[in-house]
Amino acid sequence: MNIPSSITTLIAGIALTLISLWYGQNHGLLPMAASEEAAQVDALFNMMMTVATGLFLIVQGVVLYSAFRFRRQKGDNTDGPPVHGNIPLEIVWTAIPAVILFIVSIYSFEIYNAMGGLDPMASHDDHGRQGIEQVGKPSEGSPEKNLLALDPNQAIALGLGASPEKRGQPVPLTIDVTALQYAWLFNYTDSGITTGEMHLPVGQEVQLNISAQDVIHAFWLPEFRLKQDAVPGRLAQMRFTPTKEGQYPIICAELCGPYHGAMNAQLYVQSPEEYQNWVSEQQVASTNGMEKAIATNPADLSEGEFLAPYVKDLGIDAHTLEQLHATHHHPNQ
């Protein structure tokens, strides 16, 4: 019994659709999603994979069918029929990709807007503005403005700002991220902590102010589906919310020099309690480090303050130190 070609085409179309939909959701090409924004990016990627799988199956199916159906028969040495084109077919295979591209573009536009990419300035509150102005200030003692200093009126033109539903809301945590060959430095503006690794509390929104000191770098968080270029002289921004505790890589995704491959750091997403413990430990370590620091400016210290750390090691008590001080300043000595 011969099956009508229309039924065959319908069955093939249903099978093609089901296979494309299944693979589009089960491709396994993306790492674990660890941020609220990742779900939106994944939805776009899954849709593109579904469309790409369908197109791949159609094109390869037609190629295989044509290679088998229209193959040269044994003993047939004649030329094939001359074909000068098929205008309706050309219109169809031009229109279909154009429609698909239009739909993907609109969907991408909506997701980019939902992530705050269309209005990075919208993520700024007064605190964030002050942070940008501080970054843009020239270095002390420099007669001219630093070439890498930022204009606070033009700095926020790159990155991801607040999503439409969060615009105008303050950000609980702000971190200044500085890229330089070949490291990432993270300055927590609220606590004054500066470190080479990033720690974030889970479920709390964070704003990164990203800048570069030398060449173009790219701040990439694969599990968060976020990537932002760090451009010298410009301040970019990234606002997101981590959703899963764990350790994640921070990668430079822009060729920035011979040691580009080693420009990595780590991001730790912790519970609020663990994060607060880390902040406390860093503040204590910073305080102890200042007390033990040797590279201090003696011009800012009195003689007693300068000599005090060494008195105990030299076996000199406070009374002897006072006598030496008095003798040293006696006008007749």
User: Taking residues 190-214, what's their average pLDDT?
Assistant: 93
Number of H helices, E strands in the chain: 7, 11
CA torsion 67-69-74-75 (nearest 10°) is -100
Domain-embedded: residue 84: no
Q: Are residues 142 and 104 in the same domain?
A: no
Domain-embedded: residue 278: yes
pLDDT band at 220 (very low <50, low <70, confident <90, very high): very high
Report DSSP letters for 196-259, one per residue. Answer: SSEEEETT--EEEEEEESSS-EEEEEGGGTEEEEE-BT-EEEEEE-B-S-EEEEEEE-S--STT
CA–CA distances in Å: residue 295 to residues 64, 289, 299, 306, 308: 74, 11, 12, 12, 15
Question: pLDDT: is 222 or 83 the higher one?
Answer: 222
Q: Are residues 56 and 145 in the same domain?
A: no
Q: What is the predicted pLDDT for the residue at 167?
A: 81
Q: Is the pLDDT of residue 202 over 90?
A: yes
Q: Are residues 278 and 158 in the same domain?
A: yes
pLDDT tens for residues 153-181?
444 457 888 888 888 888 899 999 999 99
Q: Are residues 108 and 243 in the same domain?
A: no
> What 3-state DSSP class applies to 8?
helix
Q: What is the predicted pLDDT for the residue at 25?
A: 94
- Nearest Cα to 224, choosing from 30, 84, 26? 30
Question: pLDDT: is 55 or 84 the higher one?
Answer: 55
User: Taking residues 61-80, what's their average pLDDT?
Assistant: 87
Number of domains in the chain: 3
Q: Are residues 305 and 281 in the same domain?
A: no
Distance in angstroms (rounded) separating the CA atoms of residues 305 and 308: 5
> What 3-state DSSP class applies to 187?
strand
Distance in angstroms (rounded) separating the CA atoms of residues 156 and 180: 20
Beta carbons within 8 Å of 127's beta carbon, 6+ residues apart: 170, 171, 174, 189
Q: Are residues 194 and 224 in the same domain?
A: yes
Question: pLDDT: is 314 or 193 the higher one?
Answer: 193
Domain-embedded: residue 141: yes
Q: Is the pLDDT of residue 234 over 70?
A: yes
pTM over 0.75: no
Q: Are residues 110 and 183 in the same domain?
A: no
Q: Is the pLDDT of residue 128 over 70?
A: no
Least confident of 147-151, 153-157, 203-207, 310-314: 147-151
Domain-embedded: residue 2: no
Q: Are residues 233 and 321 in the same domain?
A: no
Q: Are residues 40 and 163 in the same domain?
A: no
Q: Are residues 144 and 269 in the same domain?
A: yes
CB 17 within 8 A of CB 47: no
Report DSSP letters for 61-74, one per residue. Answer: HHHHHHHHHTPPPT
Q: What is the predicted pLDDT for the residue at 144?
A: 37
Domain-embedded: residue 54: yes
Least confident of 54-63, 134-143, 315-324: 134-143
Average pLDDT, the chain: 81
Q: What is the predicted pLDDT for the residue at 259?
A: 92
pLDDT tens for residues 5-62?
788 888 988 999 999 999 999 999 999 999 999 999 999 999 999 999 999 999 999 9
Q: What is the predicted pLDDT for the residue at 158?
A: 79
For 312, the domain range is 298-328
Domain-embedded: residue 174: yes
- The last residue of one of the domains, among 114, 149, 183, is 114
User: What burial class does residue 183 get, using C-beta atoms within 10 Å of its C-beta: 0-12 exposed, 13-18 middle, 19+ buried?
Assistant: middle
Q: What is the rounded end-to-end Cα distance, in angstroms, of the chain?
A: 126
Distance in angstroms (rounded) separating the CA atoms of residues 55 and 52: 5
Question: pLDDT: is 166 or 314 the higher one?
Answer: 166
CA torsion 188-193-199-205 (nearest 10°) is -20
Question: pLDDT: is 6 or 298 the higher one?
Answer: 6
Q: Are residues 162 and 275 in the same domain?
A: yes
Q: Is the pLDDT of residue 293 over 70?
A: no
Domain-embedded: residue 172: yes
Domain-embedded: residue 33: yes
User: Taking residues 299-328, what's their average pLDDT?
Assistant: 57
- Nearest Cα to 177, choosing from 144, 221, 207, 138? 207
Q: Are residues 12 and 96 in the same domain?
A: yes
pLDDT tens for residues 87-126?
998 999 899 999 999 999 999 999 998 888 877 665 454 4
Q: What is the CATH number of the domain that holds 275?
A: 2.60.40.420
